[in-house]
Structure 1
Amino acid sequence: MDIALNDVEAVCIAYLLNKRHKKQNKTKRQYWVHPLNVKRPQEGQFNITFMTLRAHPDKFFDYYRMSIQSFDELVLLAGQHIQKQYTNMRIPISPEERYLATGTHFSALHYEFLMGVSTITKIVRETCEVLWTILQPIEMSEPTTHDWLDIAEGYFEKTQFPNTVGAVDGKHIRIECPRNSGSLYYNYKNFFSLILMAICDSNYCFRIINVGSYGKESDCNVFKMSAFGKKLYADKVNFPPEQCLPGDNQGVPQPFVLVADEAFALNKNLLRPFPGRTLNDERRIFNYRLSRARQYIECSFGILSKKWRVFQTSMLVEPNFAVIITKACCVLHNFVRRRDGYNFKDSLDCSMDSIAEKRGVGNSQTNAKDVREYFVKYVNHSSHALSWQSKIIGK
């Protein structure tokens, strides 16, 4: 019995000595707050420039990517959810200072705003999560049947393409190679990415998004596996009932459709262009008319990337963090567009991707082909044709 007790005592003593040794050898924290960061209230970027920028609305817009009025409304909506308590130890970082719109890497922000990198990381994550939670029900709720009708009206007014309830496409969000991910995030454009799949309206606002699929996946598969894609291919989306196309009141009622490039699978509610170069004139005109509506999603991505500069380089964060940032930027994109309108400088990069880079998908439904053929006849009919469409195809 004494021997067993001595063994236990020996083990306990060895454990305590080892723990004490580790504690002694552990690197002590040199500063509670680094001397550089102590100067934040006087010398940090926010405290130096914020009030100065407010005196110059155009410069404020360039820096914060929105007007002063929109910024104040955003702080009013989300500020209470990111405001921290005052303590005897320190003054918390204000909600206004937590909004970082430069797109600069965290290490650079550390020296500009005089905050620790870990603090900036936590602030960006928390703020993006709050922005998505607060703004998504307001700015990106799933459209109602009436909303789809309004979207279709907007598309016809601007592009003369009928029964169009949105343009859909995928965008590769560039990230650094995640650890132990192999080739999952390596895309056909030869960089690492995750995919933003989106549907937009004719005002360049995102109505449905899906973020986070591996970069190696095709647009078609990502869309089919998304929650909205599953509903569409199962014919469960709350689209309006079929109706005659504008100016075709004696014709056959047609479904409401999304427009996409040829990487997507043809469906009665999703139209894509005819593939190949050996097409007759009618189909070439249809492809042109479809592209006029489809380019809205390309321009939406261009405006998104131009405004939120984090998309102009690789995100040096883990994929799940990149998803949070992307979702916040998309909902902020809608928030700003609906308040500050269209800014030409934000749309300089809205060119359409080359169709040659897309892989076509076959096995379309028969009724989907019938729907597309009906649209072909509609856009080629003399009463619905655009005066310049024949010249565009070189006819």
Structure 2
Amino acid sequence: MAIVKLASPTSLCCIANQFGMAACMVGQVTHEVCQLLRDIASNKVISLVNPQQVMDGFNEKEFLNCLGALDSTHIPVLCPAGSGKLYTKRKGYASMILQAMVDHCGWFMNIFTGWADRTHDVRIFRNSPLADLGEKGHYTPGMEERVLCGVTIPPIVLADAAYPLKPWLMKPYGGNITRS
């Protein structure tokens, strides 16, 4: 029942009729399955890509030793009752923030969500499993550092200016650029 509900926009009543159950049972079962899946997968990295293939793809795009690009976006949601200010964006609609890292083709490699609209990207990043894995060097096990122009460069993730600069997390240079 939970698989049917999660895989389609079918109503609880319709699914209940298919399985000879009450609609509330379909809702309860779906909720329990989602809780179980969350408990199994929380704070675990599930990798469906070959990191070396991603790095080679970024190398072809002139981003050397890069394992992904990181940013966040707002997903419009129905505002939970009684929490309008928390979820309402300055543009006037309720949203949650999705932090995502993509590969060289734009495919999702890592996602983290669940934070209300008014939360800053850095706070979300610091509370995500990705930050902890990156700090401990566990996100890129077995990936080698490269030496470019005499400088040792670890595998890196590209991010926008809102994110902190780390040895493994690169962001745009924020100062004045001169010819020298």
Shared topology, TM-score over 0.5?
A: yes
Checking the alignment, whether the CA contact within 8 Å between 2:84 and 2:94 is kept in structure 1 is no
Checking the alignment, whether the CA contact within 8 Å between 2:160 and 2:171 is kept in structure 1 is yes
Checking the alignment, whether the CA contact within 8 Å between 2:70 and 2:100 is kept in structure 1 is yes
Checking the alignment, whether the CA contact within 8 Å between 1:185 and 1:193 is kept in structure 2 is yes
1:242 matches 2:145? yes
Corresponding position of 2:79? 177
The alpha-carbon distance between structure 1 residues 228 and 100, as it changes in their structure 2 partners (threshold 3 A), is: closer
1:161 matches 2:63? yes
Corresponding position of 2:173? 274
Deviations 1:212-255 (A, max 9, x none): 112210111100111221332x343343242124xxxx632211
C-alpha distance in 1 between matches for 2:37 and 2:105: 20
The one-letter code matched in structure 1 to 2:167 is K
Checking the alignment, whether the CA contact within 8 Å between 2:12 and 2:26 is kept in structure 1 is no
The one-letter code matched in structure 1 to 2:166 is N
Of the candidates 136, 140, 163, which is equivalent to residue 264 of structure 1? 163
Checking the alignment, whether the CA contact within 8 Å between 2:76 and 2:96 is kept in structure 1 is yes
1:220 matches 2:122? yes
SS at match of 1:253: strand
The alpha-carbon distance between structure 1 residues 124 and 213, as it changes in their structure 2 partners (threshold 3 A), is: farther
The one-letter code matched in structure 2 to 1:154 is G
Identity %: 24
C-alpha distance in 1 between matches for 2:177 and 2:26: 53
C-alpha distance in 1 between matches for 2:91 and 2:29: 28
C-alpha distance in 2 between matches for 1:281 and 1:119: 67
Corresponding position of 2:150? 251
1:117-132 map, 5 Å: 118=23, 122=27, 125=30, 129=34
The one-letter code matched in structure 2 to 1:208 is N
C-alpha distance in 1 between matches for 2:139 and 2:152: 17
SS at match of 2:93: coil
The alpha-carbon distance between structure 1 residues 262 and 100, as it changes in their structure 2 partners (threshold 3 A), is: same
Checking the alignment, whether the CA contact within 8 Å between 2:5 and 2:30 is kept in structure 1 is no
Deviations 1:175-210 (A, max 9, x none): 122123252223344322222212121233322221
C-alpha distance in 2 between matches for 1:119 and 1:195: 30
The alpha-carbon distance between structure 1 residues 226 and 181, as it changes in their structure 2 partners (threshold 3 A), is: same
Deviation of the 1:128 alpha carbon = 7.6
The one-letter code matched in structure 2 to 1:193 is S
The alpha-carbon distance between structure 1 residues 163 and 124, as it changes in their structure 2 partners (threshold 3 A), is: farther
Of the candidates 46, 61, 65, which is equivalent to residue 141 of structure 1? 46
The alpha-carbon distance between structure 1 residues 281 and 143, as it changes in their structure 2 partners (threshold 3 A), is: farther
C-alpha distance in 1 between matches for 2:25 and 2:70: 34
C-alpha distance in 2 between matches for 1:121 and 1:172: 30
C-alpha distance in 1 between matches for 2:74 and 2:127: 17
Q: Which runs of 5+ in 1 are unaligned?
A: 1-81, 84-94, 283-395
The one-letter code matched in structure 1 to 2:96 is L
C-alpha distance in 1 between matches for 2:150 and 2:15: 67
1:1-395 map, 5 Å: 82=1, 98=5, 100-101=7-8, 118=23, 122=27, 125=30, 129=34, 141-142=46-47, 147-157=50-60, 159-232=61-134, 234-239=135-140, 240-245=143-148, 251-275=150-174, 279-280=177-178
Deviation of the 1:114 alpha carbon = 8.6
C-alpha distance in 1 between matches for 2:12 and 2:174: 50
Deviations 1:17-37 (A, max 9, x none): xxxxxxxxxxxxxxxxxxxxx
Tell me the TM-score normalised to structure 1 length: 0.36
Q: Which runs of 5+ in 2 are unaligned?
A: 18-22
SS at match of 2:97: strand
Deviations 1:131-171 (A, max 9, x none): 957xx6xxx61589xx43332112112x2210101111112
C-alpha distance in 1 between matches for 2:12 and 2:92: 31
Higher strand share: 2
The alpha-carbon distance between structure 1 residues 187 and 206, as it changes in their structure 2 partners (threshold 3 A), is: same
Checking the alignment, whether the CA contact within 8 Å between 1:198 and 1:209 is kept in structure 2 is yes
Corresponding position of 1:19? none
C-alpha distance in 1 between matches for 2:126 and 2:179: 31
